[in-house]
Structure 1
Amino acid sequence: MYKPLLALLVVLLSMHTVFAQEKLTISGYVKDAKNGEALLGATVFVPSLGEGVSTNDYGFYSLTLPKGTYELSFSYISYQEEKRQVKLDQANVKLDLEMKESALVLETVTVSSERVDENVRSIEMSVNKVDMRTIQKMPALLGEVDVIRSIQFLPGVTTVGEGATGFNVRGGNIDQNLVLLDEAPVFNSSHLFGFFSVFNPDAVKDVKLIKGGIPAEYGGRLSSILDVRMKEGNSKKFSATGGIGTIFSRLAIETPIVKDRGSLIIAGRRSYIDVLAKPFLNGDLKGSRFYFYDLTAKANYRINDKNTVFLSGYFGRDVFGADFGFDWGNTTASARWNHVFSDKLFLNTTAFFSNYDYRLQSDLKEPNPQDAFRWNSNIKTYSVKPDFTYYVNSRNKISFGGQMIYYTFQPGKAEAISGGETRSIGQDSKYAIESALYIGNEQKVGKKLTLQYGLRYSLYDYIGPGKAYTFGPQTGERRDPISEKTVQKGESIAQYGNWEPRFSANLGLGESSSLKLSYNRMAQYLHLLSNTAAASPLDVWTPTSNNIKPQLSDQFALGFFKNLNDNLFETSVEVYYKSLQNQVDYIPNSDLLLNPRLEGDLLYGDGRAYGAEFFIKKIKGKLNGWISYTLSRTERQVEGLNNDNWFPSRFDKTHVLNVVGIYDVSQRLSFSVNFTYGTGTPATYPTSKFVWQGFALPHNFYDERNGYRIPDYHRVDLAATLKQKKKLFGKGEGEWVFSIYNVYNRRNAFSVYVRQNANNPSQTEAVRYSVFGSIIPAVTYNFKF
């Protein structure tokens, strides 16, 4: 099955013999002179030839040129440009470089860490990068900087409601986003039921969201890749950052392990609502627990010029309860090895472990209760992933590699204790193996055309031990198994393979504009089952099986990119169409929790999403920010629902408008504002009612799905940042952040539901439920030394 990929690799590598004659290579690393951090996406450019290359995710670059003497220009937004004279005559050249931040960095806050015309020249489309300095200046809920809430202001990114877990991209479910923290997947990216994300801003270096034109090295999800990279730590000297906020405090410490060779960063956060509320709680509530915490750590060490190792990990939990316990959290661990085989061949090998679990338990105060209930669920992944990059020459960069993932699922298992007797209910554990090989090439064809093409093949195997059920055709109602089989450990139950081609093109239309197009096919073998309005920590992750087919998507995108006024403004317009197969839906009143036969409650259908995204961004000067507008539709068609007609999905928002503005009054003072508007999300309401013994029973007579919408959403947030005049502890920096969330006190509806009228049970009434219904001011103090 992998033979076509191997043949393509041989063809592409053979190009080296054609282009390598009489040429030599310059390679090395580009880093920050202040702390030794690798600079991702820094540009290495040869003006005399009009050719260049960008550093990879580890700061490495390689540039092959004809023999001669050249001036190289190294550039990176908010850093001083560096130039070096290089003579290529007899041998390859190794050139490492450290760049210094520009003295104007505080006056020129940017929303990208790339060269100013990267959006036009790059092959990437449907990609957004948000600099952490920008995220830290945006108004935030309760004054706390948050990665996930910040990317929701980008085009094509939405959420089903205020405080909802996760995010939706171009009409996809939250499980269709692959969220990576140092290449390890995070299965629940939220704290406090969606109000904050698991990413500590003090430990994050780079945030990249890929919505389309997805390169071949990524797979496993349909809608997007959110690639979050952690800081490596200061390899020059000890430093610390942190903050004291309204709801939690945080601290990050960076220190060299060996100066200029290795470093360590440890960052932690904990909320203290429980501590502040404790004096006001009485009785059974006295022992209430409601808080979250997380710990992030990363270490790296450069063994020699060719080998560098990285270790990183994350552990975080949310804890709620009084006389009962409810907690959930993520654990990830990544080990990476960078090896430079030659000036042209770079390898990064990653091994990771990821676990998401939740637990429910009653009667916490009794060690051996006679009556209790305990419930747990988890999904664990183990993976090895080698990624090679081969810099053939300045016009061809080949990427190839593979990945193997082993999954274990515990969808839900519970113990009910009654009178001292224990009864177990729930689902058996499930197991699966997913493997893939990929190859791709980024090729410059002349001065105006750049291509990126690749192919990925994924192979999935659903294996035992366990029970395999077989269900009949879907009818729109609950199905019982027609057969049952016990499967031994390692025995294959169902196997699927998918070819996933990828293609992107950039056609330059001049010095400041380009036309881009892309196509990608994606396959997804994991499914998040949730029949609630918004995802919750109790939702079930389940694998593709003999009954649940892998989800597939084909996405086409076309975009026009243009910079205005000497790169002062970046503008883009993108249109896309996405076709979806094997989308999971549910019968009415489905039972997904602790149900060993839950596959009988699932339905499958097709989906489509299409729209246009408009984006304008100002990147220079004291006033900067962006405006984005998205016009889109997202629909589903499922046999047995909505009379088999197309209907809007739960994530459909026709209009979304976002405005972000940041104004630097001076080196010490800045103001920022957010505005967001979105069409209300679809909802299903009763069309009639029965009255039985004086009680109204709502009923959807026409079986209409998502035929109504909740009211439109809109909100304004403000923030001001004031830096201290005096040094903190004689050498550090401090700043106050004042923020107001929901400035004009908008009571946005999270949902609208129908219930019986309390005074007249024969009547029904609609109830508007809001998560935040008032202004929320906050003050945060941040420090760095």
Structure 2
Amino acid sequence: MSSCYWNIAVAQNRVTLSGFVKDARSGETMIGALVNVPEARVSASTNSYGFFSVQLPAGTHQVEVSFVGYEKTSTTVELSASVQRTFELSRNDKEIEEIVVSASSRPNQVRSPQMGAVKFTPEEIKKVPVIFGEPDVLKTLQLLPGVSTGNEGSSNFYVRGGGGDQNLILLDEATVYNASHLLGFFSTFNSDAIKDVNLFKGGIPAQYGGRISSVLDINMLDGNQKEFGVEGGLGLIASRIKIDGPIVKDKSSFMISGRRTYADMFLKLSNDENARKSKLYFYDLNAKMNYKINDKNTIYLSGYFGKDNLGYSDLFSFDWGNATATLRWNSILNEKLFSNTSLIYSDFTYNVRVNSNENDFGIASQIKNWNLKQDFTYYGLNNHSIRFGLNVLNQRISPASLDAAPGTSINSIAVDTRQGLEAAVYASDEWKVSDRFSMIYGLRLTNFAVLGPGTFYDFDRDGEVTNETQYGNELVKNYLNLEPRLSMNYLLNNNSSVKASYNRIVQHLHQLTNTTSSLPTDQFVVSSANIKPQIADQVSLGYFRNFANSAYEFSTEIYYKDMQNQIDFRNGADLQANNQLEGELLFGVGRSYGVEWLLRKTRGRLNGWISYTLAKSERRFDQINDGDWFNARQDRTHDVSVVAMYELSKRWTAGATFVYNTGNAITFPSGKYQLDGSTMFYYTERNGYRMPDYHRLDLSLVYEPTPEKRRFSSSWAFGVYNAYNRKNAYIIDFRESEVNPNVTEAYRIALFGAIPSVTWNFKF
């Protein structure tokens, strides 16, 4: 009885220490900073908004706050009642700068129950040599195990054998539908505007939904609350600039960042009038501001606007672009309950215009959605971090419609707009069961309502229309799905652990593409009466180890993913301006499995990582390959990346990246025949051939004449993409031999040889 009374008394004497961790120089909130109270054996990490909360006995405590690359602070805190504090950390300029794949992973990669997760910071991304010398989030992610690229130079990526449309890409919580510029050679993400990058390949948390392969969650910088600053870079292909500073010091700030290419300016020097009138450029703009209403409430407003313009004289034009906006309200409802409310807008459009001879027409398409999200985090128990919330998403797609000018030989075709309403609720708990065992378990419930108005069709096995129904503003079809999530970690000792995870995810948006390079003109459709939602079940098991005082990190993960309701096309499918597009689709299943290894060195003058993936990705459709399994287009048996950065001196840093992978699966003709004097090819097995193996070496050299801690600093970045001039195949095509017309020969088209780059970066 006395023991019970003592426990109640202790519980009544517990108080809450909560607050934020920020960068001392800029006032930026810090994601994943560690708040530790050693004598109480209590610790917590800051969330995506820099907030933490821990329960402690009343009394005096020593609170340690740390973050990789920053000086650790230790502060004595008197707690007689619950309090809110802000801790500020300063960069550690005395240490040699560390380049790591996951800045917050040490030692969390061993202790955290989260599986298949990778974290990047902009500083790490800028160290990796890439094409044209432009730091690129997506191309850096492609150097990780389980993540592969499409064609040469492409920003499109595939995760664990899934399709490109199966990756959820978020920028400040807003969905980005086409994350590439110039047909994939640049990504839409300007690294100057980015605070934090997280990729989830497996064990995806319950707060995320809508894509079955991965989640790429990117947070933009809030803006410096202490002082004004300018930074940017001038390159051979593109230039960029970022300006940020306080609106009201320590209360509100702004950040605006822009980037533009200028290849089109060189066209003005051409002797060809058509070339001088042509367009070839992109621009993008990131903007964000925040206002601290009081200690418990902050409002954020952020947006992204980007557009590509391609065109040849007045004969052809092609433009596409993304626009996003996020209005977010952070509120500390009490010391144990944190709230984030977001209203989000996303838009992707493309327009094609052709004006040649008798053809004068345009093709336009748009994806637009509004999303209302409400997320809560409850910190009432030290061994639990409970998240729950809901979101309502209105998805509206205007498929490619054809608008022909009067008097042309082409008829206009208007395609019905499709829309759906997706509502989801979720709850999850990160539970530290014991000193050795921890887990994250959760459940997501998703309901997708297919809505009118429009004409909806039924099709037979051959894709012929059997019935059509006209709907008004009413429900057409409803899909309800449960999505369980589970990740577990068992600590073998202080330096190693084993993890396991399972997740089920449902996807209601489908991209129709037959290439490994996602094009802006690829069509999107939502689930309908004919198109069922994609469903994936993934299990994974992994071993994680840190050694040499966490200077080295090793991990290996094995996974198996089963995919339902996958989409492919009938031969000769017509995907543009087609009101009966669903009749061109075939439905089947998929599976992917593999093993990933990652070894990285995180400290010292030489650091970097080696990754290797051995994998298989297959699909099966009753009407393709006689119903047998065949390779998915993105199937890649071997994938190797070696990334190394070496500090030659305080001013010079060298970098190198080597990649090797098995060629993508592809369908080549198996024979040919003559028809009316023309040579026709015929095809047998789907994706039964391979592109040639791909390999490439990139080099970089960075010179920093002035230390970054000075008011003005600058650096020069020199690079060579594809240093040994490997002619990797972009396309393999076939033609009749000029010597012997009876012989068909294959020929290779290579996109890039060696490409040098130089960029001057500045900051003040």
Give the structure-1-normalised TM-score: 0.94
Rounded Cα–Cα distance in structure 1 between residues aligned with 2:671 and 2:395: 45
1:79 paired with 2:70, answer yes
Match of 1:309 among 295, 299, 304: 299
| 1:614 to partner: Cα distance | 0.4
Rounded Cα–Cα distance in structure 1 between residues aligned with 2:439 and 2:616: 29
Q: Which amino acid counterpart does residue 35 of structure 2 have in structure 1?
A: V
| 1:758 to partner: Cα distance | 5.6
Question: Partner residue of 1:101?
Answer: 91
Residues 362 and 697 (structure 1 numbering): CA distance in 2 closer, same or farther, change over 3 Å?
Answer: closer
Q: Which amino acid counterpart does residue 710 of structure 1 have in structure 2?
A: M
| 1:153 to partner: Cα distance | 0.4
Question: Partner residue of 2:361?
Answer: 373
Rounded Cα–Cα distance in structure 1 between residues aligned with 2:26 and 2:459: 59
Rounded Cα–Cα distance in structure 1 between residues aligned with 2:516 and 2:548: 45
Rounded Cα–Cα distance in structure 1 between residues aligned with 2:10 and 2:569: 56
Question: Partner residue of 2:755?
Answer: 776
Question: Partner residue of 1:262?
Answer: 252
| 1:371 to partner: Cα distance | 5.7
- Once the two structures are superposed, what CA deviation does each residue of 1:399-442 show, in whole Å capped at 9, x if it has no partner? 00000000111111111124279842142111111110000111
Rounded Cα–Cα distance in structure 2 between residues aligned with 1:558 and 1:420: 60
Question: Partner residue of 1:60?
Answer: 51
Rounded Cα–Cα distance in structure 2 between residues aligned with 1:297 and 1:413: 32
Match of 1:69 among 57, 60, 70: 60
1:41 paired with 2:47, answer no
Match of 1:621 among 604, 617, 641: 604
Residues 731 and 392 (structure 1 numbering): CA distance in 2 closer, same or farther, change over 3 Å?
Answer: closer
1:234 paired with 2:217, answer no
Question: Partner residue of 1:750?
Answer: 730
Q: Which amino acid counterpart does residue 483 of structure 1 have in structure 2?
A: N
Match of 1:484 among 456, 465, 468: 468
Rounded Cα–Cα distance in structure 2 between residues aligned with 1:217 and 1:566: 34
1:332 paired with 2:320, answer no
- Once the two structures are superposed, what CA deviation does each residue of 1:733-756 show, in whole Å capped at 9, x if it has no partner? 111000000011111112323334
Match of 1:644 among 605, 627, 642: 627
Question: Partner residue of 2:640?
Answer: 657
Rounded Cα–Cα distance in structure 1 between residues aligned with 2:738 and 2:288: 56
| 1:273 to partner: Cα distance | 0.4
Q: Which amino acid counterpart does residue 177 of structure 1 have in structure 2?
A: N
Rounded Cα–Cα distance in structure 2 between residues aligned with 1:251 and 1:186: 22
Rounded Cα–Cα distance in structure 1 between residues aligned with 2:9 and 2:417: 53
> How many residue pairs end up in the alignment?
756
- Once the two structures are superposed, what CA deviation does each residue of 1:442-484 show, in whole Å capped at 9, x if it has no partner? 1111111111100000000111110010112x3xxx4111000
Question: Partner residue of 2:574?
Answer: 591
Rounded Cα–Cα distance in structure 2 between residues aligned with 1:602 and 1:422: 25
Question: Partner residue of 2:700?
Answer: 719
| 1:759 to partner: Cα distance | 6.3
Which structure 1 residue ranges, 5 or more long, are not aligned?
1-15
Question: Partner residue of 2:311?
Answer: 321
DSSP-derived class of the 1:407 partner: strand
Rounded Cα–Cα distance in structure 2 between residues aligned with 1:420 and 1:714: 48
Rounded Cα–Cα distance in structure 1 between residues aligned with 2:225 and 2:548: 39
DSSP-derived class of the 2:299 partner: strand
Answer yes or no: is the 8 Å Cα contact 1:696–1:761 preserved in 2: no
Rounded Cα–Cα distance in structure 2 between residues aligned with 1:346 and 1:133: 29
Question: Partner residue of 2:266?
Answer: 276
1:497 paired with 2:476, answer no
DSSP-derived class of the 1:750 partner: strand
| 1:727 to partner: Cα distance | 9.1
Match of 1:682 among 665, 681, 689: 665
| 1:195 to partner: Cα distance | 0.6
| 1:687 to partner: Cα distance | 1.5
Answer yes or no: is the 8 Å Cα contact 2:552–2:599 preserved in 1: yes
DSSP-derived class of the 1:428 partner: coil
Question: Partner residue of 2:539?
Answer: 556
1:50 paired with 2:65, answer no
1:123 paired with 2:113, answer yes
Rounded Cα–Cα distance in structure 2 between residues aligned with 1:168 and 1:597: 29
Answer yes or no: is the 8 Å Cα contact 1:695–1:761 preserved in 2: no
Question: Partner residue of 1:417?
Answer: 405
Answer yes or no: is the 8 Å Cα contact 2:42–2:54 preserved in 1: no
Residues 281 and 409 (structure 1 numbering): CA distance in 2 closer, same or farther, change over 3 Å?
Answer: farther
| 1:113 to partner: Cα distance | 2.4
Which structure 2 residue ranges, 5 or more long, are not aligned?
1-6
Q: Which amino acid counterpart does residue 383 of structure 1 have in structure 2?
A: N
Question: Partner residue of 2:203?
Answer: 213
Residues 180 and 281 (structure 1 numbering): CA distance in 2 closer, same or farther, change over 3 Å?
Answer: farther
Question: Partner residue of 2:747?
Answer: 767
Q: Which amino acid counterpart does residue 464 of structure 2 have in structure 1?
A: D
Rounded Cα–Cα distance in structure 2 between residues aligned with 1:105 and 1:479: 65
Question: Partner residue of 2:688?
Answer: 707
Rounded Cα–Cα distance in structure 2 between residues aligned with 1:42 and 1:450: 20
Rounded Cα–Cα distance in structure 1 between residues aligned with 2:616 and 2:121: 29
Residues 92 and 486 (structure 1 numbering): CA distance in 2 closer, same or farther, change over 3 Å?
Answer: same
Identical-residue share of aligned pairs (%): 44
Residues 579 and 370 (structure 1 numbering): CA distance in 2 closer, same or farther, change over 3 Å?
Answer: closer
Rounded Cα–Cα distance in structure 1 between residues aligned with 2:740 and 2:361: 36
Give the structure-2-normalised TM-score: 0.96
- Once the two structures are superposed, what CA deviation does each residue of 1:30-85 show, in whole Å capped at 9, x if it has no partner? 00001000100000112223331100001000001233322111110000001111
Residues 315 and 158 (structure 1 numbering): CA distance in 2 closer, same or farther, change over 3 Å?
Answer: same
Rounded Cα–Cα distance in structure 1 between residues aligned with 2:529 and 2:550: 53
Question: Partner residue of 1:733?
Answer: 713
Question: Partner residue of 1:9?
Answer: none
1:193 paired with 2:183, answer yes
1:146 paired with 2:136, answer yes
- Once the two structures are superposed, what CA deviation does each residue of 1:698-748 show, in whole Å capped at 9, x if it has no partner? 112xx31111111111100000000124999x9311110000000111111
Rounded Cα–Cα distance in structure 2 between residues aligned with 1:17 and 1:431: 54
1:536 paired with 2:519, answer yes
Rounded Cα–Cα distance in structure 1 between residues aligned with 2:11 and 2:210: 36
Residues 512 and 632 (structure 1 numbering): CA distance in 2 closer, same or farther, change over 3 Å?
Answer: same
Residues 723 and 70 (structure 1 numbering): CA distance in 2 closer, same or farther, change over 3 Å?
Answer: same
Rounded Cα–Cα distance in structure 1 between residues aligned with 2:455 and 2:667: 35
| 1:137 to partner: Cα distance | 1.1
1:354 paired with 2:346, answer yes
Question: Partner residue of 1:427?
Answer: 415
Rounded Cα–Cα distance in structure 2 between residues aligned with 1:48 and 1:230: 36
Question: Partner residue of 2:3?
Answer: none
Question: Partner residue of 1:6?
Answer: none
| 1:164 to partner: Cα distance | 2.9
CA RMSD after TM alignment: 1.9
Answer yes or no: is the 8 Å Cα contact 2:359–2:410 preserved in 1: no
DSSP-derived class of the 2:540 partner: strand
- Once the two structures are superposed, what CA deviation does each residue of 1:370-407 show, in whole Å capped at 9, x if it has no partner? 96211100100101000000002210111000000001
| 1:693 to partner: Cα distance | 4.3
Rounded Cα–Cα distance in structure 1 between residues aligned with 2:155 and 2:573: 21
Rounded Cα–Cα distance in structure 1 between residues aligned with 2:715 and 2:273: 40
| 1:115 to partner: Cα distance | 5.7
Q: Which amino acid counterpart does residue 637 of structure 1 have in structure 2?
A: R
| 1:159 to partner: Cα distance | 1.3
Rounded Cα–Cα distance in structure 1 between residues aligned with 2:618 and 2:707: 56
| 1:653 to partner: Cα distance | 0.6
Answer yes or no: is the 8 Å Cα contact 2:306–2:321 preserved in 1: yes
| 1:140 to partner: Cα distance | 1.6
- Once the two structures are superposed, what CA deviation does each residue of 1:470-523 show, in whole Å capped at 9, x if it has no partner? 112x3xxx411100011102x111110100000011111101111111110000
- Once the two structures are superposed, what CA deviation does each residue of 1:232-280 show, in whole Å capped at 9, x if it has no partner? 0111000011000010100000010100111100100110001022112
Rounded Cα–Cα distance in structure 1 between residues aligned with 2:586 and 2:11: 55
